[in-house]
Amino acid sequence: MADGGAGRLAESGDAGRPEPSWSVPLADPDVVRTPDGWIAYGTGPVREGLAVPAAVSEDLVTWHGIGNVLEALAPEAGDSYWAPEVCEREGAWWMYYSVGHGDRGHLVRVARAATPEGPFRDQSVVLTPEELFAIDASPCRLGDGSWWLFFARDVLEHERPGTHLAAAPLLTPTTLGPTVPVLAPYDDWQIFQREREMYGRRFTWHTLEGPHVVVRDGLLLLTFSGGSWQGTGYRTAWMHAASPTGPWTVPEAGEDVLLRSDAEFIGPGHDSCTTGPDGQDVIAFHAWDEARTGRYMHLRELEVDTAVPRLRVGGTLS
């Protein structure tokens, strides 16, 4: 992704749709607070041996591209780098991402950098070697100081086969403990495709992906997306628990969905959360432009209520 490209939040776009936060496509945005402001990472093409486009902001309103920040692996590892998420731990910055060939063969890996701007270098560790397919890794530090990694993985033997959510203790930045299931698909809006050919069989394939956790008052509020990222049925939903091992509570139908296609957004999904300049919670997500040429980053305030567990998407930042 080329350097440059500036965008501002909360301006009106064509067809009544809001302008994206950044004028360059950035799918699966992970927005992270840094000592100098904020940085956003996302899914994008490999350019000149580097993957993962990034942009920086001093105020969460105006963004400037800094190019790609992850050193790509040898071609046999794959050509598609998806959904990076970054955290600071033990004096370094760690990027969790997946790589595969197109939409097949993805597994979760980890890269390290001295600064959030990179360059990130892969640590030669596959964190999910026993999975058929694993993507969308999201590191989370709990209130007790322990770390967990949430991710999405393929599960075939289930009444709703497809991509489910899971988690594992992140014992060190490069070591996972035992994996536990977190959430299986539970509704037809999470169908990716009927009669989808996968692993030599045909399935009504369901997809849950993009898990991301906000920790407040000892409660884990997990956001995720479901359905097909390619269409208008893609949605972002949420649930809550006291522990990564559950039990997880999904709100009643209709109350579980945070974002869906409407007059503002087409296929909004795959979010991350950060805190804004005034300490407010902020959700970042992508949505298609009107012409469906790319998925662009949007930011909105996120209303978090732990007294009666609830998440709501609020207004724009100013």
Q: What is the pLDDT of residues 176-228, one digit of tens each?
A: 999 999 999 999 999 999 999 999 999 999 999 999 999 999 999 999 999 99
Whether residue 119 has pLDDT greater than 60: yes
Q: At 76, list the tokens.
A: 């046999």
Least confident of 29-38, 228-237, 259-268, 309-318: 309-318
Beta-strand pair 50-57/63-71: antiparallel
The phi and psi torsions of 109 (rounded to 5 degrees) equal -130, 175
Whether residue 165 has pLDDT greater than 90: yes
By the 8 A CB rule, do 132 and 151 touch?
Answer: no
**C-alpha span between 210 and 272 (Å, rounded):** 8
CATH superfamily membership of 4-313? Glycosyl hydrolase domain; family 43 (2.115.10.20)
DSSP β-bridge partners for residue 241: 220
pLDDT of residue 316: 86
pLDDT of residue 318: 64
Split at pLDDT 50, 70, 90, the class of 315 is confident
Whether residue 64 has pLDDT greater than 50: yes
**Which of 85, 83, 82, 80 has its CA nearest to residue 95?**
85
Q: Is 199 exposed, middle or buried (0-12, 13-18, 19+ CB in 10 A)?
A: exposed
In the block, tokens 């489910």 appear at 164
Q: Is 188 exposed, middle or buried (0-12, 13-18, 19+ CB in 10 A)?
A: exposed
Mean pLDDT of the chain: 94
**C-alpha span between 292 and 118 (Å, rounded):** 30
Q: Which residue has the higher pLDDT, 273 or 3?
A: 273
Whether residue 106 has pLDDT greater than 90: yes
Instruction: Please compute the mean of the pLDDT values over residues 2-6 and round it to a whole number.
Output: 43
Q: At 174, list the tokens.
A: 């490069």
By the 8 A CB rule, do 128 and 108 touch?
Answer: yes
pLDDT of residue 15: 55
Whether residue 1 has pLDDT greater than 60: no
pLDDT of residue 2: 37
Q: What is the pTM of this model?
A: 0.95
pLDDT of residue 317: 81
Domain layout of the chain by residue ranges: 4-313
Whether residue 10 has pLDDT greater than 50: no
What would the pLDDT profile of 256-307 be if each residue is shown by its tens digit?
999 999 999 999 999 999 999 999 999 999 999 999 999 999 999 999 999 9
Whether residue 6 has pLDDT greater than 90: no
Split at pLDDT 50, 70, 90, the class of 7 is very low
Residue 270, by phi and psi: left (phi above 0), alpha (psi -120 to 50) or beta?
left
pLDDT of residue 304: 96
Percent of the chain residues topping a pLDDT of 70: 95
